[in-house]
Structure 1
Amino acid sequence: MATAPSSQASLLLQKQLKDLCKHPVDGFSAGLVNEDNIFEWNVTIIGPPDTLYEGGFFNAIMSFPEDYPCNPPIVRFTSEMWHPNVYSDGKVCVSILHPPGDDPNGYELATERWNPVHTCNLVVANCKD
């Protein structure tokens, strides 16, 4: 039997989305994919000036696990995107989006990986770079 999404995670995501709307991050916007699901956000990143992405609008979906913030969201671009940290299916691969703890492959320090004190703003900052 499937469990209901955590009310703690839901409340935290509602707060973080509200904060993003009140205090927008330059070059980034977010909203819900479906008004009934706080766990899936539609985001748009505007290509930063003086980069190869300048002037571009790049859409992505941020999918949050039911145990958020214990585990990170998954970020997947729905717009075509070429970047060394974006797989061909659009999934973003950066250390901050990897589960907390030691890297089973030994490439990343635990301090580089997700930590439950991280917020959506930190994810946004890492996906814009």
Structure 2
Amino acid sequence: MGDDLNRAKLLLGRQLADFQKTANDGFSAGLIGDDIFRWEVIIIGPPETAYEGGYFKARLTFPKDYPMKPPKLTFISKMWHPNVHSNGDVCISILHEPGDDKYGYEKASERWLPIHTVETILISVISMLADPNDESPANIDAAKMWRESKKEFTKRVAQTVRRSQEEL
């Protein structure tokens, strides 16, 4: 266990350093306090989507055996999205435990792999914002609205975008 913990700390330290060296227009991240296993993230709503202009705060929590197991990403900012639970937890394949999906929805190659980094996770989340998956929703009401009334969905998202801007 000690080796896994040290490996995780080293890897996360390296990923944080790499992350801070390369600027990205879509997101930023830093540690919460000095805990290498807890990061605060800001995800900027992707252009030409309903989320454009939003600054959404989230928390990445890494397990002690990272990268063998995926981190958990939770939006702190209120989100309205088919793939975000009402408590803010993000539900996308890349953050699901490695291996085959017992329900058969996802291929093992779509799920967590130790080669993923903080950057690939955040790029996947931005992609999720731009293109929701309403096939296996975490928020059934948002998925239903997305399918049945894009206008209402967009109006509801606009409220979350405004709220995120006020939180800055």
Q: TM-score, normalised by structure 1?
A: 0.93
Aligned residue type for 2:92 = V
Equivalent residue number for residue 12 of structure 1: 11
1:43 positional shift: 0.2
Equivalent residue for 1:49? 47
Counting matched residue pairs gives 126
1:62-83 residue CA offsets vs partner (Å, 9 max, x unmatched): 0000000001100000001111
- 1:93 is matched with 91
Q: What are the superposed Cα offsets for residues 23-62 of structure 1, whole Å, 9 maximum, x if unpaired? A: 1222201011111x10000000111211111111100000
Is 2:27 aligned against 1:28?
yes
Structure with the bigger percentage of helix: 2
Q: Any idea what the Cα deviations from partners look like across 1:64-113, whole Å, max 9, x if unmatched?
A: 00000001100000001111110101000000000100111111110100
Q: 1:102 aligns with which of 92, 100, 103?
A: 100
Q: Deviations over 1:12-31 (max 9, x none)?
A: 00110111110122220101
SS in 2 for 1:44: strand
Give the letter aligned to residue 97 of structure 1: L
TM-score by length of 2: 0.72
Q: Distance in 2 between matches of 1:116 and 1:30?
A: 20
Match of 2:71 in 1: 73
- State the Cα RMSD in Å: 1.2
Give % identity: 54
Structure with higher Rg: it is: 2
Structure 2 Cα separation of the partners of residues 48 and 24 of structure 1: 16
Gaps of 5+ in 1: none
Report 1 or 2 for greater relative contact order, CA contacts < 8 Å, sequence distance ≥ 6: 2
- Give 2:29's aligned amino acid: A
The residue identity in structure 2 corresponding to 1:32 is L
Question: What is the CA–CA distance in structure 2 between the aligned matches of 1:28 and 1:95, rounded to whole Å?
Answer: 20
